[in-house]
């Protein structure tokens, strides 16, 4: 937080739509795919698939280039505003345990660049040198496979992305490729499945020759959009989605420069990605980039926005427009004066805080009354020398498609006991609730020592603005320090299209070697997440043969109790009232007729004032 009065903050945010008038440019370049080829399904080649190898294919992504900080330009003498003015509802709700946790990848490549996409029946994870596919219970359907099984072998490099195009029921994967393995890459390859099953479907692979770094691909109604930290002036590209989905041989590509952009070090923008199958009207593809007033050429903390209107009939008429910037409550986004070794692990080594960029991935959702965009970036919540990494998160809204964006809410999320929060990713479910996944480890003021671990939190749509109301949930604890400073470089959260409620988050940790871990969780009220009383109750689940479960709730609660069974989609399957027997409520649960999968048991007060929740797995 900077030394600026609240009156000035309100005035600045009110006037934000008046500053920086719109500036528009036509497309800077346009062309077609250089090459296209079809790859048979993985299922048809199971005996010939190439396993991934531990070759360190690190891209020359210039992530190590810090922002051009001007010393003394903006003295930061107060801690983050939202930390100093913590809402009483912040982290006050009990969090339901994760529905599922599993290690997806073991790989001694740094960083692993973990990303994830979820379809109706599959979970698809990618990492720097490979990919793997699972079912929705965490069973692997493939081994860890080399990217060359889909992309051009021996030239597929790194920085992969994976998306599930909900509206088209297709998978979209991208990767850098390089014939010479130099610092300048030959281009990007994008693979689009020709069916909904990523194992049994074939893939149409398109090659586009352009110099790009750290690319991020997003799904929009009229194209696939990609941002990058390219050396070239073109920072964003649009790809002709309809032709690629149809398997056409020559989809078009349009490149755009960013009018009014102030680029300092690693500051690639993010394109909004449509989370579900409700596509907006064509045009208005939105790009966001955070800007800190300690950087050279920037005078206020804000979000810069651009919109792109593609014209596939006459690509030269396509335009990119600089929209009015959106002022944010002042933040500190620079660590160590722009240095790279920021967060000290318990064993002494440092990892990068991944600051100076909006983190993967900015997400878009249409509702009946408005559209929402949510994203986050790393800030230093401690203005002193101690450093406390935290997640500044933002929700923008527009009244309808192609209307101006305005700030709806923002907040800063910190972890308990002074732990760091970084490498985070957020999304919004179908009910407007927000899920946040993040990495965390002990900080300078922590009373306990925690290595890098995976956590999650969230908020309900009707909660007080600017608050993450749920206490954190643990996905997996790390057991060792990372051996170098490259962590991440990003993570990703995705929303399950099967229920539009379940969040799937993937990040990396050491256990005891470098792995990517996946956690699935829900925060919706269908699972009873009202404000609940914490007491000394204990829920005991004992499984036996034939899918039988003995469940006991040991509690001081004396009123009428109940047990409720939910499936992973949050649908209530069974409900029964219980009589107390001594110091507990007992129930014998017969799941012999249930479909194999993950279920939740909620036991306690049927009004949800006091209850406990447990996860059971039916095999």
- pLDDT per residue over 459-492, tens digit each? 999 899 999 999 999 999 999 999 989 899 899 9
CB contact at 8 A, 473 and 457: yes
Q: Give the H or E element holding residue 13.
A: helix 6-14
Give how far Cα 177 sits from Cα of 207, 211, 409, Å: 9, 10, 39
* 77 phi and psi angles, rounded to 5 deg: -115, 0
Per-residue pLDDT band at 266 (split at 50, 70, 90): low
Predicted local distance difference test score (pLDDT) of residue 17? 39
Structure-token match 């999968």, residue found: 597
What would the pLDDT profile of 44-84 be if each residue is shown by its tens digit? 999 999 999 876 555 445 555 566 777 778 777 899 999 99
Burial class (CB in 10 A: 0-12, 13-18, 19+), 180: exposed
Per-residue pLDDT band at 610 (split at 50, 70, 90): low
- Segment 123-150 shows an average pLDDT of 95
CB neighbours of 275 closer than 8 A, spacing ≥ 6?
Answer: 166, 363, 364, 365, 427, 428, 495
Length of the chain equals: 619
pLDDT of 281 strictly over 80: yes
Span of 90-104, 136-150, 289-303, 571-585 with lowest mean pLDDT? 571-585
Per-residue pLDDT band at 597 (split at 50, 70, 90): confident
Q: Give the H or E element holding residue 11.
A: helix 6-14
The rounded distance, in Å, linking the Cα atoms of 144 and 106 is: 9
Predicted local distance difference test score (pLDDT) of residue 9? 40
pLDDT of 14 strictly over 70: no
- Segment 230-238 shows an average pLDDT of 78
Name the CA dihedral angle for 593, 594, 599, 600, rounded to a multiple of 10 degrees.
Answer: -40
Predicted local distance difference test score (pLDDT) of residue 457? 97
The rounded distance, in Å, linking the Cα atoms of 103 and 511 is: 9
Architecture of the domain spanning 538-618? Sandwich (2.60)
Other residues' Cβ atoms within 10 Å of the Cβ of residue 367: 14
Per-residue pLDDT band at 159 (split at 50, 70, 90): confident
Span of 353-362, 478-487, 503-512, 586-595 with lowest mean pLDDT? 586-595
pLDDT of 603 strictly over 90: no
Predicted local distance difference test score (pLDDT) of residue 385? 84
As given in the structure block, the two tokens for residue 150 are 């889909």
Per-residue pLDDT band at 264 (split at 50, 70, 90): low
Beta strands in 209-260 (DSSP E): 216-220, 223-227, 236-239, 252-256
The rounded distance, in Å, linking the Cα atoms of 615 and 1 is: 41
- Segment 134-156 shows an average pLDDT of 89
pLDDT of 181 strictly over 50: no
Q: What is the C-alpha radius of gyration for the chain, rounded to an integer number of angstroms?
A: 24
pLDDT of 315 strictly over 90: yes
Structure-token match 């990058």, residue found: 228
Per-residue pLDDT band at 221 (split at 50, 70, 90): very high
CB contact at 8 A, 537 and 604: yes
Average pLDDT of the chain, as a whole number: 87
Predicted local distance difference test score (pLDDT) of residue 570? 63
Give how far Cα 202 sits from Cα of 139, 166, 169, 249, Å: 22, 18, 14, 15
Name beta bridge partners: 566. 572, 600
Between 61 and 235, whose confidence is greater?
Answer: 235
pLDDT of 22 strictly over 90: no
Where exactly does CATH 2.60.40.3080 map onto the chain?
538-618
Helix, coil or strand: residue 384: coil
The CA-CA-CA angle for residues 535, 540, 544, to 5°, reads 170
Structure-token match 């209307």, residue found: 403
Where exactly does CATH 2.130.10 map onto the chain?
6-527
Per-residue pLDDT band at 374 (split at 50, 70, 90): very high
Per-residue pLDDT band at 525 (split at 50, 70, 90): low
As given in the structure block, the two tokens for residue 197 are 């099953």
Between 560 and 245, whose confidence is greater?
Answer: 245
The rounded distance, in Å, linking the Cα atoms of 100 and 79 is: 36
- Segment 216-229 shows an average pLDDT of 93
Structure-token match 């990068």, residue found: 352
Global confidence as pTM: 0.84
The CA-CA-CA angle for residues 257, 258, 259, to 5°, reads 110
The rounded distance, in Å, linking the Cα atoms of 573 and 569 is: 11
Predicted local distance difference test score (pLDDT) of residue 534? 42
pLDDT of 511 strictly over 80: yes
The rounded distance, in Å, linking the Cα atoms of 185 and 211 is: 5
The rounded distance, in Å, linking the Cα atoms of 246 and 222 is: 14
Phi/psi class of residue 38: alpha, beta or left (left: φ > 0; alpha: ψ in -120 to 50)?
A: beta
The rounded distance, in Å, linking the Cα atoms of 342 and 354 is: 9
The rounded distance, in Å, linking the Cα atoms of 219 and 361 is: 11
- Segment 369-383 shows an average pLDDT of 97
CB contact at 8 A, 307 and 323: yes
- Segment 484-508 shows an average pLDDT of 94
The rounded distance, in Å, linking the Cα atoms of 518 and 592 is: 28
CB contact at 8 A, 187 and 174: no
pLDDT of 11 strictly over 70: no
pLDDT of 420 strictly over 80: yes
For residue 53, give the nearest of 109, 125, 112, 133 by alpha carbon: 109
Residue percentage of the chain with pLDDT more than 70: 88
Other residues' Cβ atoms within 10 Å of the Cβ of residue 296: 12
Topology annotation, domain 6-527: Methylamine Dehydrogenase; Chain H (2.130.10)
User: Among positive and negative, which fits the CA dihedral 132, 138, 140, 141?
Assistant: negative
The greatest distance separating any two alpha carbons of the chain, rounded to the nearest whole angstrom, comes to 78
CB neighbours of 490 closer than 8 A, spacing ≥ 6?
Answer: 113, 114, 115, 354, 359, 360, 423, 425
């Amino acid at each position: 937080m900077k030394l600026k009065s609240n009156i000035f903050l309100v005035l600045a945010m009110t006037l934000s739509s008046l500053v920086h008038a719109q500036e528009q440019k036509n497309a800077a370049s346009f062309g077609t795919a250089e090459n296209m080829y079809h790859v048979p399904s993985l299922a048809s080649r199971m005996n010939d698939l190439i396993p991934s190898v531990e070759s360190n294919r690190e891209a020359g992504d210039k992530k190590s280039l810090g922002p051009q900080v001007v010393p003394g330009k903006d003295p930061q003498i107060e801690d983050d505003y939202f930390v100093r003015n913590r809402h009483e509802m912040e982290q006050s709700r009990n969090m339901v345990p994760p529905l599922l946790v599993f290690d997806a990848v073991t790989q001694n490549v740094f960083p692993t660049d973990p990303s994830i996409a979820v379809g109706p029946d599959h979970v698809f994870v990618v990492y720097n040198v490979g990919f793997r596919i699972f079912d929705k219970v965490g069973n692997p359907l493939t081994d860890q496979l080399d990217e060359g099984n889909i992309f051009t072998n021996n030239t597929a490099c790194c920085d992969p992305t994976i998306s599930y195009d909900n509206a088209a029921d297709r998978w979209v994967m991208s990767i850098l490729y390089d014939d010479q393995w130099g610092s300048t890459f030959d281009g990007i390859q994008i693979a689009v499945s020709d069916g909904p099953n990523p194992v049994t479907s074939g893939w149409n692979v398109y090659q586009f020759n352009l110099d790009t770094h750290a690319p991020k691909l997003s799904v929009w109604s009229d194209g696939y959009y990609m941002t990058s930290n390219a050396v070239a002036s073109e920072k964003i590209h649009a790809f002709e989605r309809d032709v690629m989905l149809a398997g056409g041989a020559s989809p078009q590509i349009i490149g755009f420069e960013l009018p009014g952009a102030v680029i300092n070090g690693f500051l690639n923008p993010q394109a909004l990605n449509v989370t579900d199958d409700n596509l907006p009207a064509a045009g208005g593809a939105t790009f966001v980039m955070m800007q800190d007033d300690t950087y050279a050429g920037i005078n206020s903390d804000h979000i810069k926005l651009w919109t792109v209107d593609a014209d596939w009939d006459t690509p030269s008429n396509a335009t990119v427009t600089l929209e009015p910037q959106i002022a944010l409550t002042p933040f500190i986004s620079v660590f160590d004066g722009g240095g790279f070794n920021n967060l000290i692990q318990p064993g002494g080594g440092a990892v990068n805080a991944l600051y100076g960029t909006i983190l993967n991935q900015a997400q878009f959702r249409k509702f009946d009354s408005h559209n929402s965009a949510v994203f986050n970036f790393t800030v230093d919540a401690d203005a002193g020398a101690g450093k406390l990494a935290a997640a500044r998160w933002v929700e923008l809204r527009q009244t309808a498609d192609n209307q101006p964006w305005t700030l709806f809410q923002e907040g800063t999320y910190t972890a308990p006991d002074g732990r760091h929060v970084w490498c985070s990713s957020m999304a919004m479910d179908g009910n407007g609730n927000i899920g946040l996944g993040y990495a965390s480890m002990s900080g300078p003021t922590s009373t306990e020592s925690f290595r890098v671990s995976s956590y999650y939190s969230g908020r309900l749509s009707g909660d007080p603005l600017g608050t993450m109301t749920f206490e954190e949930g643990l996905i997996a604890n790390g057991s060792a320090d990372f051996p170098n400073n490259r962590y991440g470089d990003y993570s990703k959260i995705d929303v399950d299209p099967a229920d539009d409620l379940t969040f799937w988050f993937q990040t990396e940790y050491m256990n005891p070697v470098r792995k990517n871990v996946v956690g699935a969780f829900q925060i919706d009220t269908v699972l009873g997440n009202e404000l609940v009383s914490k007491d000394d109750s204990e829920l005991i689940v004992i499984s036996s043969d034939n899918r039988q479960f003995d469940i006991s709730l040991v509690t001081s609660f004396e009123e009428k109790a109940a047990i409720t069974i939910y499936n992973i989609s949050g649908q209530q399957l069974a409900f029964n009232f219980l009589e107390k027997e001594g110091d507990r409520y007992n129930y014998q649960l017969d799941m012999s007729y249930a479909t194999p999968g993950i279920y939740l048991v909620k036991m306690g007060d049927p009004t949800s004032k006091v209850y406990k929740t447990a996860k059971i797995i039916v095999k």
